[in-house]
Amino acid sequence: MAKLILHKLCKDYGTGKPAVNDVSLKIRDGGFLALLGPSGCGKTTVLRMIAGFETPSDGSILLGERVLSDASGAVPPERRNMAMVFQSYALWPHMTVAANVGYPLKVRGVSGERYREKVGEALRSVRLEQYAERRPADLSGGQRQRVALARSLVTDPDVVLLDEPLANLDRHLRQEMEETFREFHARSGATMVYVTHDQAEAMALATDIAVMSEGRLLQVAAPAEIYARPEGRLVGSLIGQGAVLSIPASGDDNRELDWQRLAALMTQGRAGGGTIDILVRPQDVLLGSEGLNATIETALYEGERYALRLRLDDGQVLRAHGRQPAMRGDRVKVVLSKAWRL
């Protein structure tokens, strides 16, 4: 299998604003890339161009040395050796689970022992062997999505494209399915591109996250890297549960700011010199007897702690974790142990 390369990819539907604008990306062989971004940012359009369902207005798509799409033409979807998994499962209701899983093999003319072997293997990979003769209507949402996963694997695709595959499931089932997806990825070795607007899902599943906004790619990095060093306000606010504050410019290049530096900047006022955006994670907001004055706006009990929303006296909002019961309107003091300049 080979690296999937998107080179200066554009899609203009003629609506006056391109849906995808100059997206360049390399997805390593066997990688699991999450395409993350708010609704309408162009994620699905990128996925559909990779699959061959949509023709790029500009740019090219390569799988290793093989050109799938460029100005001179495009390889049709059925010759790309890719599989797609949809939010809606897209199963045939009148066919059994086994027949659904085997359908792509039938289309390719595979039959007999080879057919049975491949279907059995795919069903085992998602632990659905016992359900082979059932119909989709007799399965839960999670089991239906596992059928769709097995079907996507049965032809040994080079690339599996997943379009919000867990969006229809409840929170508990989503977590369980995340485990299934990780296993599925590890076993199949296929390169995966996974569209989602759920950052927690992207962090839990992917080896790399690509954040998009308004058709453009903002940042591509491993989950831990993008969490620790997000680029810009949108990525900062999208990944993890941080708060973005605007504070007087620091004048130095250091992007990691400690409390000493922050305290000096935040208490000096805004007399000229411009401002910078900083990202503050809830675990770095420490409640105590000194620091910035703030008021508790909401305190949500989460079992082991309280998730607090605080308003600083300058009107900006922070998120914090509290150990003690807290009430709306309580006055507190906070120290920001560290922050990241966006």
Q: How far is the CB of 76 from ligand ATP (least distance, A)?
A: 19
Between 19 and 257, CB nearer to ligand ATP: 19
Q: How far is the CB of 35 from ligand ATP (least distance, A)?
A: 8
Per the DSSP assignment, residues forming a β-bridge with 294 are 312, 332
Please, which residues have CB within 8 angstroms of residue 330's CB and are 6 or more apart in sequence?
A: 295, 296
Q: How far apart are CA 202 and CA 255, in angstroms?
A: 25
Between 45 and 191, CB nearer to ligand ATP: 45
Q: How far is the CB of 44 from ligand ATP (least distance, A)?
A: 3
Between 84 and 285, CB nearer to ligand ATP: 84
Q: How far is the CB of 114 from ligand ATP (least distance, A)?
A: 37
Nearest one of 43, 147, 143, 35 to 91, comparing CA atoms: 147
Between 100 and 199, CB nearer to ligand ATP: 199
Q: How far apart are CA 148 and CA 160, in angstroms?
A: 11
The answer to whether 131 and 139 are in contact (CB under 8 A) is yes
Nearest one of 129, 140, 141 to 101, comparing CA atoms: 129
Between 44 and 152, CB nearer to ligand ATP: 44
Q: How far apart are CA 227 and CA 284, in angstroms?
A: 14
Q: How far is the CB of 41 from ligand ATP (least distance, A)?
A: 4
Between 195 and 278, CB nearer to ligand ATP: 195
Q: How far is the CB of 163 from ligand ATP (least distance, A)?
A: 8
Between 194 and 306, CB nearer to ligand ATP: 194
Q: How far apart are CA 119 and CA 125, in angstroms?
A: 10
Between 43 and 185, CB nearer to ligand ATP: 43
Q: How far is the CB of 256 from ligand ATP (least distance, A)?
A: 31
Measured torsion, CA atoms of residues 47, 3, 121, 184, in degrees rounded to the nearest 10: -70
DSSP 174-196: HHHHHHHHHHHHHHH--EEEEEE
Between 41 and 193, CB nearer to ligand ATP: 41
| Helix/strand/coil for 315 | coil
Please, which residues have CB within 8 angstroms of residue 334's CB and are 6 or more apart in sequence?
A: 285, 286, 287, 288, 291, 292, 294, 310, 318, 320
Q: How far apart are CA 254 and CA 191, in angstroms?
A: 36
Q: How far is the CB of 215 from ligand ATP (least distance, A)?
A: 7
* Phi, psi dihedral angles at 305 (to 5 degrees): -165, 175
Whole-number Cα distances in Å, 288 to 10, 292, 295, 336: 51, 10, 13, 11
Q: How far is the CB of 134 from ligand ATP (least distance, A)?
A: 30
**Sheet containing 191-196, strands listed edge to edge, beginning at the edge strand earlier in sequence:** 82-86, 159-163, 191-196, 32-36, 208-213, 216-221
Binding site for ligand ATP (CB under 6 A): 13, 15, 19, 37, 39-45, 197
